[in-house]
Amino acid sequence: MTAISSSDLVTNLLIFLLASVLGQELIRHVSRLLHTPLMALTNAISSVSFIAALIVLAEPGPETVSLLAAVAVALAATNIVSGFLLTDRILRMFRRRKEEK
Amino acid sequence: MTDVYVDLLYVLSAVLFVLSLKFMSDVRTSRAGNFCGVAGMIVAIAATLLAYQTQNVELLVGAVIIGAVIGSPIGLKVAMTAVPQRTAMSHAFGSLAVALVGAAEYYRSAPAIDAFTLSVLSGEMVLGFLTFTGSTIAFAKLQGLISGKPLLYRGRMYVSMGTLAVAVAASVYLVANPAQSAALLVLAGAALVFGFLLVIAIGGADMPTVIAILNSFAGISAAALGFVLDNRLLIVAGTLDGSSGLILGIIMSRAMNRSFTNILFGGVGAATTSTAGAANKTAQVYTAEDVATILRDARSVIIAPGYGMAVAQAQHAVKELADALQARGIDVKYAIHPVAGRMPGHMNVLLAEAQVPYDQLWEMDRINPIFPGTDVSIVVGANDVTNPAARTRADSPLYGMPILDVDKARTVVFIKRSLGPGFSGVDNDLFYLPNTMMVLGDAKKVLTDLLAAMRNLRD
């Protein structure tokens, strides 16, 4: 995992570029009403860095490595749990006008 | 489990994340969007656990429990007025997690790391650590733990840029000498200090944009970690987060007619501009009863709320007034400026919490053409975003900033604690217009009085 071949790098760059373009398009179309929950949601999603900590934790290494990764797991888990819960809590508050009006 | 299946599950997870954002385009599908996000996360974690058997089960379980114990109350209990600071905190946590995994990866692999990977790793750590302290300061400012005023001193640009230069130099040295782990400590220390210096010099009023920019940094550092670990799911998720922060930041800075550079390095918000010229102008101050008379004959009303409304806890009073007006057949809309509140979209959330239906919330570009045909506009807790000087006076600091055209309504009712200037320290021309009725007092009390006066009029 330490040495990345050039073809892997090119593929990763391509993924990065496509994800950027897709991200711009997706975010531009997000309802303006929902920018606050959007921030909570994307923050939770990017805390998928949780899995990076898992991978580092899985492979044998010095104590320092495990400790750093474990702290990262706790931080990412906090964001995942609070981010998704908060997003849902905010989204549930948005209601349309009652139909009788 | 073989690698192919893990990769396929990662693809599934990435698709779910993309769908999650796609569903945020409409309020009606947004909750499904959040569930897609949850599903994507579960798939990603499950795939990783199946593929990589953890050596330290106790450590892992302990860390997850700590995360859940801290995260659940935050997610379930945080007040809607406090969501901006919780957002800043989540950026601090996310970026620190990414920086720490980067450091762990270095200690695990060094010195057997190729130069390219190590340079991405260094950049990722610099960004992660500076976002951590920067977001922590943003949190402290929003929470009121420290003053919202920018901390300005002579030569601060040299100090900040010097610190950043140290971080960059340490990165370069580390790439050249991968075994020198001391350079990593210098890098981390300098980046942490730079993040602190950067945000401590930014005024509280600019925090909405700063949060969005830090959001972008946190996302980009996560994507960079994906490059280091060759983990494509992380590249995709980090990039989506980075794009989101970037676009929200652009929207916010445009709404204030400011550039990123001006917001990050301008030190705006320290000056208390004199209100010279205000002395010879007189504002016409009215009572709640006067306003009730005007509202009795109105057919259309637009309410322009600002963060001052939330400070006065007046959301529910505003909603009651709107209900009372609608009960008389008066059309009511809310005008939402992009920077109303303390983070992108914050005002919508505050009003939604007060059970204002979201189809009454109109964004600036859509509602501005409607003001000229409106009988009454009511400004509650907003100030600078309604100042006509932004349109007319080239010497005003607000000049060029897009504003809500409340002054174009037949009558403007401006509810305000005093005749003092707004966040920017600029006097508001709106106070002195002939069609403006100033009502001074606490927003909640004024609105309650107004409701009572309306009831009395009917009897």
Note the pLDDT of residue B63.
94
Residue B276: the pLDDT is: 46
Q: Which of B130, B139, B134, B135 is nearest to B164 (CA)?
A: B130
Is B235 within 8 Å of B243 (Cβ atoms)?
no
CATH of domain B288-458: 3.40.50.1220
Mutate one of A78, A85, A92, A101 to test the B interface: name it (highest B CB count within 10 A).
A78
Please answer yes or no on whether B70 and A82 come within 8 Å at the CB atom: yes
Q: How far apart are CA B306 and CA A38, in angstroms?
A: 21
The pLDDT of residue B424: 65
pLDDT in tens, B207-242: 899 999 999 999 999 999 999 999 999 999 999 999
Which chain A residue lies closest to B47 (C-alpha atoms)? Answer: A51
Chain B, 353-412: which have a CB under 8 Å from a chain A CB?
353, 355, 357-361, 363
Q: What is the pLDDT of residues B191-211, one digit of tens each?
A: 999 999 999 999 888 889 999
Mutate to test the interface with B, among A82, A84, A95, A96 (most CBs of B within 10 A): A82
- Rounded mean pLDDT, B281-289: 87
Please, which pLDDT band fits residue B18 given cuts at 50, 70 and 90? very high
When pLDDT is cut at 50, 70 and 90, the band that residue B154 belongs to is: confident
Q: What is the pLDDT of residue B332?
A: 96
Nearest 5°: phi and psi at B394?
Answer: -65, -20
- Using a 10 angstrom Cβ sphere, with 0-12 exposed, 13-18 middle and 19 or more buried, the burial of residue B418 is exposed
Q: Is the CB of B7 inside 8 Å of chain A's CB atoms? A: no
pLDDT above 90 for B258: no
User: How far does the CA of residue B46 sit from the closest CA of chain A (Å)?
Assistant: 9
Give the integer Cα–Cα distance in Å for A72 and A64: 12
Task: List strand residue ranges (DSSP E) for B287-426, in order.
Answer: 300-305, 331-336, 361-363, 376-380, 411-416
Q: Which of B390, B437, B409 is nearest to B302 (CA)?
A: B409
> Among A19, A28, A34, whose Cβ lies nearest the Cβ of B345?
A34
DSSP class of residue A4?
Answer: P
Residue B90 is nearest to which of A11, A51, A83, comparing CB atoms? A83
Task: Report percent pLDDT > 90 for chain B.
Answer: 74
Q: Which residues pair with B362 in a beta bridge?
A: B335
Predicted confidence band at B419 (pLDDT cuts at 50, 70, 90)?
Answer: confident
Confidence band, pLDDT 50/70/90 cuts, at residue B23: very high
Within 13 Å of residue B274, how many CA atoms lie on the same side as its CB? 3
pLDDT of residue B274: 45
Buried-exposed string B300-336: b where 16+ CB fall within 10 A, e elsewhere: bbbbbbbbbbbebebbebbbbbbebbeeeebebbbbb
Give the CB-side neighbour count of residue B260, counting CA atoms within 13 A.
12
- Judging contacts by C-beta atoms under 8 Å, the chain A residues touching residue B101 are 49, 52-53, 56, 68-69, 72
The partner residue sitting opposite B236, judged by closest CB among A8, A19, A89, is A19
Q: What percent of chain B has pLDDT over 70?
A: 95
Q: What is the pLDDT of residue A3?
A: 52
Query: Quick check: B315 pLDDT over 70?
Result: yes
Residue A82 to residue A84: CA distance in whole angstroms? 6
> Are residues A23 and B76, on separate chains, in Cβ contact within 8 Å?
no
- pLDDT exceeds cutoff 70 at A2: no
Q: Given B86, B230, B338, which is nearest A8 (Cβ)? A: B230
Among the listed residues B191, B178, B88, the one whose alpha carbon sits nearest the alpha carbon of residue B137: B88
| Of B41-55, B137-151, B263-277, B358-372, the least confident | B263-277
Cα separation, B303 vs B361, whole angstroms: 10
Closest Cα partner for B99 from B282, B224, B201, B254? B224
Question: Measuring CA to CA, how many Å separate B315 from each of B24, B335, B412, B450?
Answer: 25, 14, 19, 15
Q: How far apart are CA B281 and CA B185, in angstroms?
A: 59
Chain B, nearest residue to A30 by Cα: B25
Q: Which two tokens stand for residue B70?
A: 């801290």
Among positive and negative, which fits the CA dihedral A24, A72, B212, B196? negative
Q: Longest C-alpha distance within chain B, in Å? A: 85
CB contact under 8 A, A34 and B80: no
Provide the pLDDT for residue A1.
46
Highest average pLDDT, of B145-149, B264-268, B449-453, comes from: B449-453
B89-144 pLDDT per residue, tens: 999 999 999 999 999 999 988 888 899 999 999 999 999 999 999 999 999 999 99
Query: What is the per-residue pLDDT for B366?
Result: 95
Dist CA B67 CA B77 (whole Å) = 16
Predicted complex ipTM: 0.93
Supply the pLDDT for residue B459.
62
User: Which residues sit opposite B302 in a β-bridge?
Assistant: B333, B377
In this prediction, residue B329 carries a pLDDT of: 93
Query: For residue B270, what pLDDT is reported?
Result: 58
Tokens, residue B435:
């069609």
Angle among Cα A65, A71, A73 to the nearest 5 degrees reads 100
What does the block give as tokens for B162? 């010097």
Q: Which two tokens stand for residue B296?
A: 């009795």
Rounded-to-integer distance, Cα B295 and Cα A10, Å: 65
Residue linked to tokens 């009651």: B320
Query: What residues in B contact A38, CB-CB < 8 Å?
Result: 21, 24, 244, 248, 344-345
Q: What pTM, to 2 d.p., does this model score? A: 0.92
Question: Start-end ranges of CATH 3.40.50.1220 in chain B?
Answer: 288-458
Q: Which of B208-217, B269-278, B358-367 has the lowest mean pLDDT?
A: B269-278
What's residue A100's pLDDT?
Answer: 42
pLDDT of residue B456: 87
**Mean pLDDT taken over chain B:** 91
Q: What are B15's two structure tokens?
A: 């698709």
Distance CA A79, CA B219 (A): 13
Cα distance between the two ends of chain B: 77
Q: Is the pLDDT of residue A4 over 70?
A: no
pLDDT of residue B280: 59
The torsion angles phi and psi of B356, rounded to 5 degrees, stand at -75, 125
CA-to-CA separations, B243 to A18, A58, B165, in angstroms, rounded = 12, 30, 26
Find the mean pLDDT for residues B351-365: 94
CA quadruple A8, A10, A15, A19: dihedral sign = positive
The CA distance from B100 to B94, in Å, is: 10
